[in-house]
Amino acid sequence: PIEKVRYAIPYENYTLEIDIFPFWESAALLEIELTSEDENPPLPPFLSVVAEVTHDGRFKNAAMARNAAQRALLPHLISPFEF
């Protein structure tokens, strides 16, 4: 299993689900349920999207849990987007 804290923030008719992980100090995952892939939901000014990772298997919970030991051993060598 993977540890995370999830915050659900209502914003302009959407719910922004922000996952905070103990192994990332300055990054988090944002999830927004959409009715179609063409939707472009507004984001609050305090959020900045670095990358779209919806279809990137490295950001699935199972993959992140498998790589947790590696991240714990090498936190200074691995950025959140390079594992």
Q: How confident is the model at residue 46 (pLDDT cuts 50, 70, 90)?
A: confident
Rounded Cα gap, residues 40 and 60, in angstroms: 22
Is the pLDDT assigned to residue 75 strictly greater than 50? no
Is pTM beyond 0.75? Reply is no
Q: How confident is the model at residue 82 (pLDDT cuts 50, 70, 90)?
A: very low
Rounded Cα gap, residues 24 and 50, in angstroms: 14
| Residue 52 confidence (pLDDT) | 87
